[in-house]
Amino acid sequence: MSFYLLPLATPLPLLVAAAVAFPGSGRCPKRAGMAEAAALASFLIAVSGLALLVTCGPGTSGVVGVAGIGLSCLLDTVSVTMLLLVSFIGWLVLRYARTYLDGETRQGAFTGWLCLALAAVLFLVQAGNLVQLAAAWIGMSVALRRLLLFYPERLAARRAERKKRLFSRIGATALIVGAGLMAWAYGTTDILTINSTARTTGGSASTAAAAGLLAFAALLKSAQFPTHGWLTEVMEAPTPVSALLHAGIVNAGGFLLVRFADLMLTAPGVLAAVAMIGGFTALFGALVMLTQPAVKTSLAWSTVAQMGFMMLECGLALFPLALLHIVVHSFYKAHAFLASGGAVEQVAAIRRSGPVAVPDGAAVGRAFVLALLIYAAIEAAFGLAFGFGHKSPQSLALGAILIFGVAYLLAQGPADAAPRILTRKTASYAIAAAIGYFTLQTAAEWLTRGTLPATPPPGRLEWTLMALASLSFGAVAIAQALLPLWSGHPAATGLRVHLANGFYLNAVLERKLGGWSARASS
């Protein structure tokens, strides 16, 4: 229907702002202000898309183009959620960049490429056909490359961009080939038709290969192990770029799997591989994050861990939770990067105020027992309210993993040197975090019902993966809580050094790609 074309206007104000900003490649504060206004206009158009979804229901527009090649909009809960998220965060980032880049001699070019990157993401998340999806995917990578090289004279920026460009090209090739296989297998490029057909007819060898290629592209885009190194090295770009990358573009891998959830369910082996790689990346990133001395580098490793956890959710077929994770992580990481300067001051103030309470083994044990009791009480309350069969075993396992994180937070409260007010605050915050998570989880499942497929019953492989994930995340949570107690041990000191360097995997990859010479990075 023609009115479903309305969301396609969301990127248009940003494209106009980019066209205006590029000619003034020097300082152009007025054009930066225009870009901020354009981002706000895009957000308002996204809000109108939400109103259209509520009044008319989900649907897809016709293709504005020739022979199935052109622009179309798939309007449903997933696309509207992503449109609202990307446009709102884009407005915040451009608003921040307007002041942050004030006085920069290339402010116009930066503003233009930032607008183009946001426009590409907006075209991606509402794509109704495979051609638009692939074109927006490539356009997003091109714009991001220009932003990462905003200071081309910085050698570290060129090294990181070189690795990013390699993985982006491999991922884009996988996506294009996978899209071609889907178009051949289903006889259409319409994404809604592909998903509905996959839901009713199941899979075949060609669709399984397509699912594998989509998963491969998603893993590369989300910086999964062992291709994670570029994401932790792109700190040479301006802070607005870091916020946009970590809060938006890196989530494209998770969005791709959510968008083709019905197709992915026809390839359980592919989902199992995604779960294993994502789970290991999450554990690896969480451990390395604790050893980083710089705030932005620690946030980058946190993104690696969060993307791994999102892949684990997709691998366990918890697609509504993966969509929720994209939203929550985007808001958190955008705020974290844009407020990173203030975070440094806060940490310095805490260190000046006196020694920090360190939990011992008994405190950690009490925290884990309390966290498990909280988990049992919340699950019982939700079971009484919604029925004890409304949760899949996969979601219960993810809830248990979350509780391990809550236990890590709780452990700071029962520490021997902690004042009572700290104990009360950590307990109340932990309970609020757990209740908030399970409430949002239930809301996400309800809002996406009919759009995203239900989680199928787990088989033997899925049960094994859930058990391994629960045990592994529990062990890591205990190690994180007890890490300060081991800081003086020689073995712990050596391990900390190796962890801080990510076990040198990125250095090995750098050497394979040509080393650290300026010529290789040019």
Q: Which residue has the higher pLDDT, 431 or 330?
A: 330
**What is the spatial distance between Cα 231 and Cα 306, in angstroms, rounded to a whole number?**
12
Query: Is 235 strand, coil or helix?
Result: helix
Q: Is the pLDDT of residue 521 over 50?
A: no
The reported pLDDT for the residue numbered 470 is: 84
**What is the spatial distance between Cα 362 and Cα 430, in angstroms, rounded to a whole number?**
19
Residue at 285 is within a domain: yes
Same domain, 457 and 481: yes
Instruction: Tell me the pLDDT band of 40, cut-offs 50, 70 and 90.
Output: very high
Q: Is the pLDDT of residue 455 over 50?
A: yes
pLDDT digits (tens, 9 = 90+) for 239-276: 888 888 877 788 899 999 999 999 999 999 999 999 99
Query: How many Cα atoms within 13 Å fall on the side-chain side of residue 22?
Result: 11
The reported pLDDT for the residue numbered 378 is: 73
How many C-beta atoms lie closer than 10 Å to residue 177's C-beta? 16
The reported pLDDT for the residue numbered 162 is: 82
Cα 58 to chain centroid, rounded: 25
Residues 6+ apart with CB under 8 A from 126: 7, 8, 10, 49, 73, 74, 75, 79, 82, 83
222-226, 310-314, 431-435: the lowest-pLDDT one: 431-435
Same domain, 361 and 302: no
Determine the residue type at 19: A
93-97, 282-286, 291-295: the lowest-pLDDT one: 291-295
Which of 367, 365, 272 is CA-nearest to residue 317? 272
Residue at 491 is within a domain: no
Q: Which residue has the higher pLDDT, 320 or 420?
A: 320
- For 104: left if phi > 0, alpha if psi spans -120 to 50, otherwise beta; the answer is beta
Tell me the sheet residues that pair with 93. none
Query: How many Cα atoms within 13 Å fall on the side-chain side of residue 233?
Result: 23
Q: Which residue has the higher pLDDT, 328 or 414?
A: 328
Arithmetic mean of pLDDT, 155-161: 77
Same domain, 178 and 286: yes
Q: Domain of 339?
A: 156-354
Helices (DSSP H) in 204-265: which residue ranges? Answer: 205-221, 239-247, 252-259, 261-265
* Domain end position, chosen among 320, 354, 388: 354
Provide the number of structural domains found in the chain. 3
Look up residue 451 and give its two tokens.
């759009």
Same domain, 180 and 279: yes
Arithmetic mean of pLDDT, 334-338: 80
- The burial class, CB within 10 Å (0-12 / 13-18 / 19+), for 276 is middle
Helices (DSSP H) in 411-504: which residue ranges? Answer: 420-447, 460-482, 490-500
Q: Which residue has the higher pLDDT, 167 or 383?
A: 167
Helices (DSSP H) in 8-129: which residue ranges? Answer: 12-21, 29-56, 77-100, 107-125
Same domain, 195 and 306: yes
**What is the spatial distance between Cα 46 and Cα 41, in angstroms, rounded to a whole number?**
9
Query: How many Cα atoms within 13 Å fall on the side-chain side of residue 372?
Result: 7
Same domain, 240 and 339: yes
Residue at 370 is within a domain: yes
The reported pLDDT for the residue numbered 484 is: 64
What is the percent of the chain with per-residue pLDDT over 70, rounded to a whole number?
83
The reported pLDDT for the residue numbered 297 is: 79
104-113, 376-385, 511-520: the lowest-pLDDT one: 511-520
Same domain, 266 and 383: no
The reported pLDDT for the residue numbered 339 is: 77
Size (the chain), residues = 522
Which of 395, 297, 410, 400 is CA-nearest to residue 343? 297
Q: Which of 12-16, 154-158, 500-504 has the highest mean pLDDT?
A: 12-16
The reported pLDDT for the residue numbered 259 is: 95
Residue at 391 is within a domain: yes
Instruction: Tell me the pLDDT band of 31, cut-offs 50, 70 and 90.
Output: confident
Residue at 506 is within a domain: no
Same domain, 229 and 327: yes
Residues 6+ apart with CB under 8 A from 195: 260, 261, 262, 263
The reported pLDDT for the residue numbered 387 is: 61
Cα 373 to chain centroid, rounded: 30
Summary count for the chain: helices (H), strands (E)? 22, 4
Residue at 54 is within a domain: yes
Same domain, 219 and 345: yes
Residue 411's φ and ψ, nearest 5 degrees, are -60, -25
**What is the spatial distance between Cα 217 and Cα 256, in angstroms, rounded to a whole number?**
9
Torsion over CA: 8, 14, 20, 25 (sign): negative
Same domain, 50 and 184: no
pLDDT digits (tens, 9 = 90+) for 337-380: 777 666 555 555 555 555 555 666 666 676 777 777 777 777 67
Q: Is the pLDDT of residue 15 over 50?
A: yes
114-123, 310-319, 426-435, 468-477: the lowest-pLDDT one: 426-435
pTM of the entire predicted model: 0.89
Look up residue 84 and give its two tokens.
């609202």
Arithmetic mean of pLDDT, 141-148: 88
The reported pLDDT for the residue numbered 518 is: 47
* Residue appearing with tokens 């019953």: 457
Same domain, 196 and 324: yes
The reported pLDDT for the residue numbered 423 is: 67
Residue at 345 is within a domain: yes
**What is the spatial distance between Cα 384 and Cα 460, in angstroms, rounded to a whole number?**
29
Instruction: Tell me the pLDDT band of 166, cut-offs 50, 70 and 90.
Output: confident
**What is the spatial distance between Cα 75 and Cα 275, in angstroms, rounded to a whole number?**
28
Same domain, 307 and 406: no
**What is the spatial distance between Cα 398 and Cα 240, in angstroms, rounded to a whole number?**
32
* Residue appearing with tokens 């010529």: 519
* Domain end position, chosen among 354, 380, 398: 354
- The burial class, CB within 10 Å (0-12 / 13-18 / 19+), for 376 is exposed
Residue at 509 is within a domain: no
Look up residue 252 and give its two tokens.
């494209």
The reported pLDDT for the residue numbered 117 is: 93
**What is the spatial distance between Cα 452 and Cα 442, in angstroms, rounded to a whole number?**
14
